[in-house]
């Protein structure tokens, strides 16, 4: 597939073989954002772990100081007072067993994150084959299985994101929009990269961060030197 002129021009503006420090990478990234829409900025981190082993999983969640630039829709599985609490906290959808057939039979996915109280996980578990592949299954490590639904919703709305390994041992996550500018994107980057560094499994041997790159929706990936990734 042929690349657009703006993409080709961006390729000429930097050294594809160079490993940049985070500040330089983000500055280049912002200068490349020339699409007619506000491009999402993504971080891609390949780790020296094996996600097939339970003791080498890397997963967690952080609140980005400047959010992601996207308003996330939250579905909460809860009953009684916790359901009322979720509604008061600003959840977009709240329900229980009655949502099962809607999700299973009607392919209802008009939400970005699912939160559940612990007592509802028996119900939510029935949706594992549907929610799991989409990365929507609530998880205690991500703070989405909790009795404190107000805190969970507030953090998600404030810019909380989950990071997790894919099958190729790479973490992909958004760190904002090109319009945020260099300073805000760098701050978001720092928070997420620090969290990934601290989540290093004890069982991980050798180099932990193998490769790091940042890219906009329409732009080329810019490689960051893993040795200078933090700070």
User: Which CATH number is correct for 74-158, 3.40.50.790, 3.30.420.40, 3.90.550.10, 1.20.140.10?
Assistant: 3.40.50.790
Low-confidence ranges of the chain (pLDDT < 70): 1-13, 231
Q: What is the pLDDT of residues 157-205, one digit of tens each?
A: 998 988 999 989 999 999 999 999 999 999 999 999 999 999 999 988 8
Q: Where in the chain is the domain with CATH 3.40.50.790?
A: 74-158
User: Which CATH number is correct for 5-67+160-228, 3.30.190.20, 3.20.20.70, 3.30.1370.110, 3.30.70.1350?
Assistant: 3.30.190.20
| pLDDT at residue 100, as a whole number | 94
- 215/213 Cα distance (integer angstroms): 7
The pTM (predicted TM-score) of the whole model is: 0.79
* 75 close to 109: Cβ distance less than 8 angstroms: no
Question: What does DSSP say about strands 160-164 and 40-47: parallel, antiparallel, or unpaired?
Answer: unpaired
């Amino acid at each position: 597939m042929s690349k657009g002129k703006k993409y080709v021009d961006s390729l000429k503006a930097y050294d594809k073989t160079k490993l940049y420090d985070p500040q330089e990478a983000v500055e280049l990234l912002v200068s490349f954002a020339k699409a007619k829409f506000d491009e999402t900025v993504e971080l891609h981190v390949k780790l020296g772990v094996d996600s097939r082993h339970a003791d080498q999983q890397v997963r967690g969640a952080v609140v980005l100081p400047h959010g992601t630039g996207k308003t996330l829709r939250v579905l909460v599985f809860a009953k009684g007072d916790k359901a009322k609490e979720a509604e008061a906290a600003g959840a977009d959808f709240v329900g229980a067993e009655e949502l099962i057939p809607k999700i299973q039979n009607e392919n209802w996915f008009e939400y970005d994150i699912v939160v559940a109280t612990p007592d509802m996980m028996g119900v939510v578990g029935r949706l594992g084959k549907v929610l799991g592949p989409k990365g929507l299954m609530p998880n205690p490590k991500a703070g989405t299985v909790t009795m404190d639904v107000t805190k969970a919703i507030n953090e998600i709305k404030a810019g909380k994101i989950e990071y997790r390994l894919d099958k190729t041992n790479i973490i992909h996550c958004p760190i904002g929009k090109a319009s945020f500018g260099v300073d805000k994107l760098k701050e978001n980057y720092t928070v997420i990269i620090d969290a990934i560094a601290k989540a290093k499994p004890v069982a991980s041997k050798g180099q932990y961060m193998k490769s790091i790159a940042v890219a906009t929706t329409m732009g080329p990936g810019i490689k960051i030197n893993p040795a200078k990734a933090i700070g």
